[in-house]
Amino acid sequence: MVTHGRAETIGPALARLEQVARLTGVELLLSDEEAEKHGRAGADGRSAADLAVVLGGDGTMLRALQRFVDTDVPVLGVNFGRVGFLASVQPGELEARLTEAFRGRYAVHSLPVLEARAGAKRRLAINDVVVTSSVLGRMAHLGWGVGGEDLGVQPCDGLICSTPSGSTAYNLSSGGPVLVRGLDAIAITFVAPHSLHARPLVVPPDLDVAVSNQSADVEAAVIADGHAFASIAPGGSLAVRLAAERSLLATPLEATFFRRYREIFVA
Protein backbone atom coordinates (compact mmCIF):
# COMPACT_ATOMS: atom_id res chain seq x y z
CA MET A 1 0.00 0.00 0.00
CA VAL A 2 1.04 3.57 -0.73
CA THR A 3 -0.52 6.55 1.03
CA HIS A 4 -0.70 10.30 0.58
CA GLY A 5 -0.18 13.01 3.16
CA ARG A 6 0.31 12.93 6.90
CA ALA A 7 -0.56 9.86 8.93
CA GLU A 8 -3.29 11.64 10.89
CA THR A 9 -4.96 12.76 7.66
CA ILE A 10 -5.05 9.41 5.88
CA GLY A 11 -5.16 7.27 9.05
CA PRO A 12 -8.95 6.69 9.05
CA ALA A 13 -8.79 5.45 5.43
CA LEU A 14 -5.90 3.15 6.33
CA ALA A 15 -7.95 1.69 9.20
CA ARG A 16 -10.78 0.97 6.77
CA LEU A 17 -8.34 -0.71 4.35
CA GLU A 18 -6.90 -2.84 7.16
CA GLN A 19 -10.41 -3.94 8.15
CA VAL A 20 -11.20 -5.03 4.58
CA ALA A 21 -7.89 -6.91 4.44
CA ARG A 22 -8.66 -8.75 7.68
CA LEU A 23 -12.13 -9.76 6.50
CA THR A 24 -10.86 -11.04 3.15
CA GLY A 25 -7.70 -12.74 4.43
CA VAL A 26 -5.31 -10.41 2.60
CA GLU A 27 -1.84 -9.57 3.94
CA LEU A 28 -0.88 -5.88 3.71
CA LEU A 29 2.76 -5.07 2.91
CA LEU A 30 4.22 -1.66 3.77
CA SER A 31 7.51 -0.17 2.67
CA ASP A 32 9.81 1.08 5.44
CA GLU A 33 8.71 4.63 4.64
CA GLU A 34 5.01 3.79 4.96
CA ALA A 35 5.61 1.71 8.08
CA GLU A 36 7.43 4.58 9.78
CA LYS A 37 4.70 7.03 8.77
CA HIS A 38 1.91 4.92 10.22
CA GLY A 39 3.69 3.16 13.08
CA ARG A 40 3.33 -0.31 11.54
CA ALA A 41 5.70 -3.17 10.83
CA GLY A 42 7.53 -2.67 7.54
CA ALA A 43 8.57 -4.92 4.68
CA ASP A 44 9.72 -4.36 1.12
CA GLY A 45 6.67 -5.60 -0.75
CA ARG A 46 7.80 -4.64 -4.25
CA SER A 47 8.66 -8.19 -5.29
CA ALA A 48 6.14 -10.03 -3.11
CA ALA A 49 3.01 -7.98 -3.75
CA ASP A 50 0.11 -9.12 -5.94
CA LEU A 51 -1.60 -5.72 -5.99
CA ALA A 52 -0.62 -2.19 -4.92
CA VAL A 53 -3.38 -0.17 -3.27
CA VAL A 54 -3.04 3.62 -3.20
CA LEU A 55 -4.83 5.87 -0.72
CA GLY A 56 -4.36 9.30 -2.29
CA GLY A 57 -4.76 11.33 -5.46
CA ASP A 58 -3.12 11.19 -8.85
CA GLY A 59 0.22 12.40 -7.47
CA THR A 60 0.37 9.41 -5.13
CA MET A 61 -0.77 7.20 -8.00
CA LEU A 62 2.15 8.41 -10.12
CA ARG A 63 4.54 7.65 -7.28
CA ALA A 64 3.17 4.12 -6.97
CA LEU A 65 3.14 3.51 -10.73
CA GLN A 66 6.77 4.66 -10.84
CA ARG A 67 7.68 2.34 -7.99
CA PHE A 68 6.09 -0.70 -9.64
CA VAL A 69 7.00 0.12 -13.24
CA ASP A 70 8.16 -2.89 -15.26
CA THR A 71 6.81 -5.37 -12.70
CA ASP A 72 3.71 -7.58 -12.67
CA VAL A 73 2.10 -5.53 -9.87
CA PRO A 74 -0.95 -3.48 -10.94
CA VAL A 75 -1.79 -0.29 -9.02
CA LEU A 76 -5.34 0.38 -7.81
CA GLY A 77 -6.17 3.82 -6.41
CA VAL A 78 -8.74 5.08 -3.90
CA ASN A 79 -9.11 8.79 -4.61
CA PHE A 80 -8.34 11.00 -1.64
CA GLY A 81 -7.07 13.77 -3.90
CA ARG A 82 -8.82 16.37 -6.05
CA VAL A 83 -9.32 15.12 -9.63
CA GLY A 84 -8.28 11.51 -9.31
CA PHE A 85 -8.49 10.35 -12.93
CA LEU A 86 -6.03 7.52 -12.29
CA ALA A 87 -7.43 6.73 -8.84
CA SER A 88 -10.77 5.29 -9.91
CA VAL A 89 -12.29 4.20 -6.56
CA GLN A 90 -14.14 6.91 -4.63
CA PRO A 91 -13.74 7.11 -0.81
CA GLY A 92 -17.32 6.02 -0.16
CA GLU A 93 -16.76 2.90 -2.25
CA LEU A 94 -13.59 1.79 -0.45
CA GLU A 95 -14.99 -1.26 1.34
CA ALA A 96 -17.08 -2.58 -1.54
CA ARG A 97 -14.50 -2.01 -4.29
CA LEU A 98 -11.50 -3.31 -2.33
CA THR A 99 -13.44 -6.38 -1.25
CA GLU A 100 -14.04 -7.10 -4.94
CA ALA A 101 -10.42 -6.35 -5.82
CA PHE A 102 -9.05 -8.61 -3.07
CA ARG A 103 -11.17 -11.38 -4.58
CA GLY A 104 -9.58 -10.81 -7.98
CA ARG A 105 -12.35 -8.75 -9.59
CA TYR A 106 -10.57 -5.87 -11.30
CA ALA A 107 -9.36 -4.92 -14.75
CA VAL A 108 -5.67 -4.40 -15.56
CA HIS A 109 -4.51 -1.87 -18.17
CA SER A 110 -0.97 -1.85 -19.55
CA LEU A 111 0.16 1.77 -19.80
CA PRO A 112 2.95 3.12 -22.03
CA VAL A 113 5.78 4.95 -20.27
CA LEU A 114 8.01 7.75 -21.57
CA GLU A 115 11.79 7.59 -21.57
CA ALA A 116 13.65 10.91 -21.49
CA ARG A 117 17.39 11.19 -22.13
CA ALA A 118 19.42 14.33 -21.54
CA GLY A 119 23.11 13.62 -21.90
CA ALA A 120 23.91 10.67 -19.64
CA LYS A 121 20.72 11.12 -17.62
CA ARG A 122 17.72 8.84 -18.19
CA ARG A 123 14.33 9.16 -16.54
CA LEU A 124 11.02 7.33 -16.95
CA ALA A 125 7.73 9.24 -16.79
CA ILE A 126 4.25 7.81 -16.40
CA ASN A 127 2.42 11.03 -17.34
CA ASP A 128 4.62 13.54 -19.12
CA VAL A 129 7.97 15.11 -19.82
CA VAL A 130 7.91 18.91 -19.95
CA VAL A 131 10.61 21.22 -21.31
CA THR A 132 10.13 24.79 -20.10
CA SER A 133 11.99 28.05 -19.67
CA SER A 134 13.95 28.06 -16.41
CA VAL A 135 13.60 31.85 -16.13
CA LEU A 136 10.22 33.16 -14.99
CA GLY A 137 8.78 35.53 -17.58
CA ARG A 138 11.26 34.57 -20.33
CA MET A 139 10.26 32.52 -23.36
CA ALA A 140 12.37 29.62 -24.52
CA HIS A 141 13.14 29.03 -28.18
CA LEU A 142 12.75 25.30 -28.59
CA GLY A 143 13.80 23.40 -31.67
CA TRP A 144 11.90 20.19 -32.21
CA GLY A 145 11.71 17.25 -34.55
CA VAL A 146 10.10 13.84 -34.88
CA GLY A 147 11.63 10.67 -36.31
CA GLY A 148 14.81 12.47 -37.31
CA GLU A 149 12.99 15.20 -39.27
CA ASP A 150 13.42 18.82 -38.21
CA LEU A 151 10.20 20.73 -37.51
CA GLY A 152 11.70 24.13 -36.82
CA VAL A 153 12.03 26.40 -33.79
CA GLN A 154 9.09 27.53 -31.66
CA PRO A 155 9.23 30.44 -29.18
CA CYS A 156 7.06 29.35 -26.24
CA ASP A 157 6.84 28.89 -22.50
CA GLY A 158 7.37 25.16 -22.91
CA LEU A 159 6.65 21.89 -24.66
CA ILE A 160 4.81 18.85 -23.25
CA CYS A 161 5.35 15.26 -24.32
CA SER A 162 2.62 13.14 -22.73
CA THR A 163 1.49 9.54 -22.65
CA PRO A 164 -2.21 8.69 -23.00
CA SER A 165 -2.32 8.55 -19.17
CA GLY A 166 -0.84 12.05 -18.98
CA SER A 167 -2.95 13.47 -21.79
CA THR A 168 -5.72 14.36 -19.28
CA ALA A 169 -3.30 16.33 -17.08
CA TYR A 170 -1.07 19.31 -18.03
CA ASN A 171 -1.46 18.41 -21.70
CA LEU A 172 -5.25 18.84 -21.53
CA SER A 173 -4.93 22.11 -19.60
CA SER A 174 -2.67 23.43 -22.37
CA GLY A 175 -5.13 22.59 -25.15
CA GLY A 176 -3.69 19.23 -26.10
CA PRO A 177 -5.69 16.19 -27.25
CA VAL A 178 -6.99 13.47 -24.95
CA LEU A 179 -5.53 10.10 -25.94
CA VAL A 180 -7.85 7.22 -25.12
CA ARG A 181 -6.45 4.48 -22.90
CA GLY A 182 -5.15 1.63 -25.06
CA LEU A 183 -3.23 3.80 -27.51
CA ASP A 184 0.56 3.69 -27.70
CA ALA A 185 1.41 7.23 -28.73
CA ILE A 186 2.94 10.52 -27.59
CA ALA A 187 1.03 13.80 -27.62
CA ILE A 188 3.21 16.87 -28.24
CA THR A 189 1.69 20.17 -27.09
CA PHE A 190 3.26 23.62 -26.80
CA VAL A 191 2.65 25.80 -23.75
CA ALA A 192 1.75 29.40 -24.70
CA PRO A 193 3.41 29.30 -28.14
CA HIS A 194 4.17 32.69 -29.70
CA SER A 195 2.52 31.64 -32.94
CA LEU A 196 -0.88 31.35 -34.60
CA HIS A 197 0.04 28.06 -36.21
CA ALA A 198 1.52 25.87 -33.45
CA ARG A 199 -0.78 22.89 -33.07
CA PRO A 200 -0.58 19.70 -30.99
CA LEU A 201 0.77 16.62 -32.71
CA VAL A 202 0.28 12.92 -31.94
CA VAL A 203 3.11 10.62 -32.94
CA PRO A 204 3.30 6.79 -33.06
CA PRO A 205 5.48 4.67 -30.77
CA ASP A 206 8.33 4.04 -33.20
CA LEU A 207 9.30 7.72 -33.64
CA ASP A 208 11.55 9.62 -31.22
CA VAL A 209 10.89 13.25 -30.29
CA ALA A 210 13.94 15.52 -30.25
CA VAL A 211 13.89 18.85 -28.39
CA SER A 212 16.77 21.33 -28.45
CA ASN A 213 17.29 24.61 -26.64
CA GLN A 214 17.83 27.27 -29.30
CA SER A 215 17.58 30.17 -26.84
CA ALA A 216 20.50 32.58 -26.78
CA ASP A 217 20.81 32.89 -23.01
CA VAL A 218 17.97 30.98 -21.32
CA GLU A 219 18.38 27.50 -19.87
CA ALA A 220 15.52 25.04 -20.33
CA ALA A 221 14.34 22.91 -17.42
CA VAL A 222 13.23 19.30 -18.00
CA ILE A 223 10.48 18.07 -15.68
CA ALA A 224 9.34 14.42 -15.55
CA ASP A 225 6.01 13.74 -13.82
CA GLY A 226 6.25 17.05 -11.99
CA HIS A 227 9.83 16.60 -10.75
CA ALA A 228 12.91 18.40 -12.10
CA PHE A 229 15.07 16.01 -14.05
CA ALA A 230 17.71 17.99 -15.97
CA SER A 231 18.65 21.39 -17.35
CA ILE A 232 19.38 22.01 -21.03
CA ALA A 233 21.85 24.79 -21.70
CA PRO A 234 21.58 26.78 -24.94
CA GLY A 235 22.59 24.39 -27.72
CA GLY A 236 21.74 21.31 -25.64
CA SER A 237 19.12 18.71 -26.48
CA LEU A 238 16.73 16.10 -25.11
CA ALA A 239 15.33 12.89 -26.61
CA VAL A 240 11.91 11.49 -25.66
CA ARG A 241 10.47 8.16 -26.75
CA LEU A 242 8.11 5.45 -25.54
CA ALA A 243 10.11 3.21 -23.23
CA ALA A 244 10.38 -0.56 -23.28
CA GLU A 245 9.04 -0.56 -19.72
CA ARG A 246 5.31 -0.53 -18.96
CA SER A 247 3.22 0.22 -15.91
CA LEU A 248 0.03 -1.56 -14.88
CA LEU A 249 -3.11 0.28 -13.77
CA ALA A 250 -5.88 -1.62 -12.00
CA THR A 251 -9.47 -0.35 -12.02
CA PRO A 252 -12.86 -1.72 -10.96
CA LEU A 253 -14.49 -3.59 -13.81
CA GLU A 254 -17.17 -0.91 -14.15
CA ALA A 255 -14.72 2.03 -14.21
CA THR A 256 -14.09 2.23 -17.95
CA PHE A 257 -12.08 5.06 -19.50
CA PHE A 258 -15.13 6.75 -21.02
CA ARG A 259 -17.14 6.47 -17.82
CA ARG A 260 -14.33 8.17 -15.87
CA TYR A 261 -13.95 10.76 -18.63
CA ARG A 262 -17.64 11.60 -18.49
CA GLU A 263 -17.67 11.77 -14.67
CA ILE A 264 -14.70 14.12 -14.43
CA PHE A 265 -14.67 16.24 -17.58
CA VAL A 266 -18.26 16.20 -18.88
CA ALA A 267 -20.65 15.90 -15.93
Sequence-separated contacts (24+) of 24-32 with Cβ below 8 Å: 24/99, 24/102, 24/103, 26/102, 28/1, 29/1, 30/1, 31/2
Choose, from 58, 184, 206, 208, the residue flagged as catalytic.
Answer: 58
Which residue, 131, 145, 118, 115, is CA-closest to 209? 145
CA distances from 53 to 61, 73, 225 (A): 9, 10, 20
From first CA to last CA, the distance across the chain in angstroms is 31
b/e code 132-167 from CB counts within 10 Å (16+ = b): bbbeeeebbbbbbbbeeeeeeebbbbbbbbbbbbbb
Pairing mode, strands 220-224 and 2-3: unpaired
Q: What are phi and psi of 12, to 5 degrees?
A: -60, -40
Rg over alpha carbons for the chain, rounded to the nearest Å, is 20
Residue 12 burial by Cβ neighbours in a 10 Å radius (0-12, 13-18, 19+): exposed
Catalytic, 58? Answer yes
Q: Please give the positions annotated as active site.
A: 58
